[in-house]
Amino acid sequence: MFELFLPMLERLGIIVTAAFIFTRFHFFRELADQRMLTGKQQMTAIVFFGLFGIIGTYTGITYDTNSLEFGRWAYQLVDTEALANSRVIGIVAAGLFGGWRIGLGAGVIAGLHRFSLGGFTGLACGISAVVAGLIAGFFHQKGKPLKLKTALFVGALAETIQMGIILLMAQPFTRAWALVQEIGLPMIAANGVGSALFLLIIRNVLNEEEKAGAVQAQKALKLAELTVAHLRKGLTKESAARACRIIYDEVHVSAISMTDKQTILAHVGLADDHHHYGEAIQTDATKEVIRSGRRVIVGHEDIQCQHQDCPLGAAVIVPLKKRDEVEGTLKFYVRTEKEISTVLLELIQGLSALLSQQLELADADQAEELARKAEVKALQAQVNPHFLFNSLNVIVSLTRTEPDKARSLLIALSKFFRQNLGATTKTWVSLEEELKHVRAYLLIEETRFVDRLKIDYDIDESALSAKIAPLTLQPLVENSMKHGVKDQDEEARITLTIQKEGTCVRVSIADNGRGIDPVRLQQLGEGVVDSEKGAGFGLYNVNKRLEYMHGEEAKLHIESKPGQGTIISFILPLEEKEETA
């Protein structure tokens, strides 16, 4: 009995080879990940596992019940011979990974083959192969990881049941009993261990590949994060040079190069003494990548460098795209083609996709900036031309009677329009600057309306460092002027309040005007409102900019009661924002 253990374990080496080969097939990866297989993939799995079972049969060891000797590899058996083999491993693997259908199919293929070899246990072993597939399918658990102890147990159980079927069906019984006594325990142990070993190899190979893929993905994401600040500015000489330097420092290659459609934008690493910025693209392979949008791997000759002693021996060239249109290329140079590994290719491909997304984001940023400027220009256009004419009329009327006041108003008007014109060049301004803009506007309005308009300021000086989008306060104050106090018979009053509240700043503009109709109040700030009194475009524009630049909590809050006035308020975070021109 024990002399069979060592040969059986030796032939488990074939299982190692078969398990590794199985990991190369797509259908098996789908099985290992427990995904739904198509009908074609299921048939492929059945055939492959069935062939695995046949290999286990052919690598078995013959046992002659008359001579009691173990012999050759099995090709054809005589009536006195039986077979100690590892056929069950392939069938058990089929059932555990794929369920009873794949286990049954693999068992039928391996069982029919075993029956065709003959021997007094041919029929019993053929039937037991089918039973083994069904048993393994019973232990298949979709959505749960397969455990080593389960594979060990099912492999041993299937072989134990095969021994029982041999005792029940093989004739004569005395010969079957002698066979089971001799090969039963070694086969049960070997096939149990073999099933667990098969699973262990599969798991380790897939886990190592996943780890390698995760490492490369992490590196690609890190590189994308490091280069995002540069490539978000577009594909330029400066952004390409900085991105190439970052990638070169992280990826072990000889050189990194980046091009647009016509010229080299940057080259970092070996051969930087003769690969220079501004040179026209000479490599046919680079032109092919720009034309086709597909990755190309080239050797030394295909690099087509004119420098006689160029140390660059091979290159991987990948496209950089924006909206599926090639904008340039990224090149990874190495000394020899042997250095181009599968892992490096995966990293390069992933990095190409991530950098291409950054270039697309650069366009999105540009479009966003244009939209912001368009919004500001729309707010500038909201300034009523009559305001300019009326202001000038007031100034003219004061020129002779109150020249100093006329001069002050003229300065205020100048500051007001200067702030308006400069609003498109800044993303952020301080509340202090915005308040100066509003004071200039209200000074003119107070003079126009003489004693009919009163402006109150409740300002916390420590809150004025908060940043805000330009032209935010003035449209709100103007809205109070137009729709709140314009037609007041009694004194109109506007109160502008800026106060700190913890880590935030609350800004509010209150008036004592006629108020807003409740139906219209619900619509203001959320969209353009059709009305004879105005479309609400200024409020809508300001509201969306506040929400976009400061978050949902910064949206306008409007309180109003007909005949009692209106309060418009919003909250800003008290934090530093970078001004950009």
Highest mean pLDDT among 57-71, 131-145, 209-223: 131-145
Phi, psi of 575 (to 5 degrees): -145, 160
244 compared with 11, residue with greater pLDDT: 244
Tens digits of residue pLDDT in 219-263: 776 777 777 777 777 788 888 888 889 888 888 889 999 999 889
**Which of 185-207 are b and which e, b meaning 16 or more Cβ less than 10 Å from the residue's Cβ?**
bbbbbbbbbbbbbbbebbbebee
**pLDDT value at position 92?**
92
Q: Is the pLDDT assigned to residue 453 strictly greater than 50?
A: yes
DSSP 489-536: SS-EEEEEEEEEETTEEEEEEEE-S----HHHHHHTTTS----TT---
* Rounded-to-integer distance, Cα 281 and Cα 263, Å: 5
Distances (CA, A) of 77 to 1, 60, 114, 122, 171: 20, 12, 10, 9, 15
Q: Which residues lie closer than 8 Å to 458 by C-beta, 6 or more apart?
A: 495, 496, 497, 498, 499
* Rounded-to-integer distance, Cα 46 and Cα 115, Å: 18
Range in 390-394, 536-540, 574-578 with the lowest mean pLDDT: 574-578
| Amino acid letter, 490 | E
Closest residue by Cα to residue 514 from 453, 454, 451, 561? 561
216 compared with 410, residue with greater pLDDT: 410
* Rounded-to-integer distance, Cα 573 and Cα 468, Å: 9
Q: Where are the beta strands (DSSP E) in 185-334?
A: 255-259, 264-269, 296-299, 314-322, 325-334
Percent of the chain residues topping a pLDDT of 70? 78
527 compared with 270, residue with greater pLDDT: 270
Q: Please state whether 277 falls in left (phi above 0), alpha (psi between -120 and 50) or beta.
A: beta
Q: Which residues lie closer than 8 Å to 244 by C-beta, 6 or more apart?
A: 256, 257, 258, 266, 267, 268
* Rounded-to-integer distance, Cα 357 and Cα 321, Å: 8
DSSP 442-497: HHHHHHHHGGGEEEEEEE-GGGTT-EE-SSSHHHHHHHHIIIIITT-SS-EEEEEE
Q: Could you tell me which residues are beta bridge partners of residue 113?
A: none
Q: Is the pLDDT assigned to residue 386 strictly greater than 60?
A: no
Reported confidence tier of residue 74, pLDDT bands at 50, 70, 90: low
Q: Is the pLDDT assigned to residue 283 strictly greater than 90?
A: no
* Rounded-to-integer distance, Cα 176 and Cα 180, Å: 6
Q: Is the pLDDT assigned to residue 579 strictly greater than 70?
A: no
Percent of the chain residues topping a pLDDT of 90? 18
Q: What's this model's pTM, rounded to 2 decimal places? A: 0.47
Helix segments in 251-384, DSSP class H: 284-292, 300-303, 342-382
**pLDDT value at position 507?**
92
Q: Is the pLDDT assigned to residue 578 strictly greater than 50?
A: no
**pLDDT value at position 381?**
46
Highest mean pLDDT among 32-46, 365-379, 498-512: 498-512
**pLDDT value at position 493?**
85
Q: Which domains does the chain have, with CATH numbers?
A: 1-209 (1.10.1760.20), 233-379 (3.30.450.40), 385-573 (3.30.565.10)
Q: What does the mean pLDDT of the chain come to?
A: 79
Are the C-beta atoms of 576 and 568 separated by less than 8 Å? no
Tens digits of residue pLDDT in 93-121: 889 888 899 999 999 999 999 999 888 89
276 compared with 205, residue with greater pLDDT: 276
Average pLDDT rounded to a whole number, residues 306-311: 82
Q: Is the pLDDT assigned to residue 435 strictly greater than 70?
A: yes
Tens digits of residue pLDDT in 320-346: 988 778 889 999 999 888 888 877 888
